C-alpha cells in the first residue's frame, strides 16, 4: 500500500477513535447520572433524547474493523482523560458534589463541539441533534448547581487538558466524511 494511503487510513482511524471516545464519555455521563440521581420527568426526557442521538451518532462512526489496537488506543485516551478528571476533582474539592457532574458535562459538551468542528466539518443531523441535546442538558444541570462558577472553572480546566490529549497533534487526525 502506498505510504500516503496508509497515512490517510491511520488519520481516519484516529479521527474515528476520537469521536468514539467523546461518545463514550457521553454514555458514561448518562450512566452515572442515572445511577446517582433521581431525575425529574423533564430531565428524564432530556436524557432519553441524548441517548437516542448518541446511539444514532454512534452508528455513523463505527470503525469497519475495530481492532485490538484501536480498542487499546481508545482505552488509553479514556484512561488519560479519567486521570485528569480525578486529579482536578480532588484538587477542586468536587469529589462528592453536584459540581462533579457539571464539570463533566461541560467538558463533554465542549469536546463534542470541538470534535464536530475539527473532525466532521459538516455534521449530519444526528450529530447536530446530539450537540444540541447535550448543550441543553448541560445548561439544565448548571441552573441547579449552587457552586456553578466553581464547577464551570473546573470543567474548563478539565476540557483544556482533555482537548490536548485528543486534538493537540493535528498531524494525527483529519476531517472525515461519515455515512449519512
Chain segment 50-63, per-residue pLDDT in tens = 999 999 998 888 65
- Full-prediction pTM beyond 0.85? yes
**Is pLDDT above 80 for 145?**
no
- Name the one residue in this structure whose C-alpha cell is 450529530: 127
Confidence of residue 64 (pLDDT cuts 50, 70, 90): low
**Is pLDDT above 90 for 67?**
no
For residue 179, what pLDDT is reported?
A: 59
Q: Is 28 within 8 Å of 84 (Cβ atoms)?
A: no
Mean pLDDT of 84-100: 80
Mean pLDDT of 79-94: 88
| Cβ neighbours of residue 127 closer than 8 Å, sequence gap 6 or more | 57, 60, 116, 120, 178
The angle, 0 to 180 degrees and rounded to 10, between the axes of the packed helices 68-91 and 3-36 is: 50
Helix (H) or strand (E) holding 65: none
- Name the one residue in this structure whose C-alpha cell is 474515528: 16
Taken as a whole, the chain contains a residue count of 180
**Phi, psi at residue 11, to the nearest 5°?**
-65, -40
**Phi, psi at residue 60, to the nearest 5°?**
-85, -15
Confidence of residue 95 (pLDDT cuts 50, 70, 90): low
Confidence of residue 79 (pLDDT cuts 50, 70, 90): very high
Mean pLDDT of 125-131: 95
Amino acid at each position: 500500500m502506498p505510504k500516503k494511503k496508509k497515512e490517510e487510513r491511520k488519520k481516519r482511524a484516529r479521527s474515528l477513535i476520537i469521536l468514539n471516545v467523546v461518545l463514550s464519555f457521553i454514555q458514561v455521563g448518562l450512566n452515572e447520572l442515572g445511577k446517582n440521581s433521581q431525575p425529574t420527568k423533564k430531565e428524564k426526557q432530556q436524557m432519553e433524547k441524548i441517548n437516542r442521538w448518541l446511539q444514532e451518532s454512534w452508528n455513523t462512526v463505527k470503525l469497519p474493523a475495530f481492532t485490538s489496537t484501536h480498542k487499546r488506543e481508545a482505552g488509553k485516551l479514556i484512561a488519560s482523560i479519567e486521570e485528569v478528571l480525578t486529579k482536578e476533582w480532588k484538587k477542586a474539592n468536587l469529589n462528592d458534589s453536584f459540581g462533579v457532574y457539571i464539570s463533566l458535562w461541560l467538558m463533554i459538551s465542549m469536546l463534542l463541539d470541538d470534535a464536530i468542528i475539527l473532525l466532521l466539518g459538516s455534521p449530519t443531523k444526528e450529530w447536530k441533534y446530539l450537540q444540541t441535546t447535550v448543550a441543553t442538558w448541560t445548561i439544565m444541570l448548571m441552573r441547579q448547581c449552587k457552586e456553578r462558577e466553581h464547577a464551570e472553572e473546573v470543567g474548563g480546566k478539565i476540557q483544556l487538558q482533555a482537548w490536548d490529549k485528543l486534538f493537540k497533534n493535528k498531524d494525527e487526525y483529519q476531517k472525515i466524511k461519515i455515512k449519512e
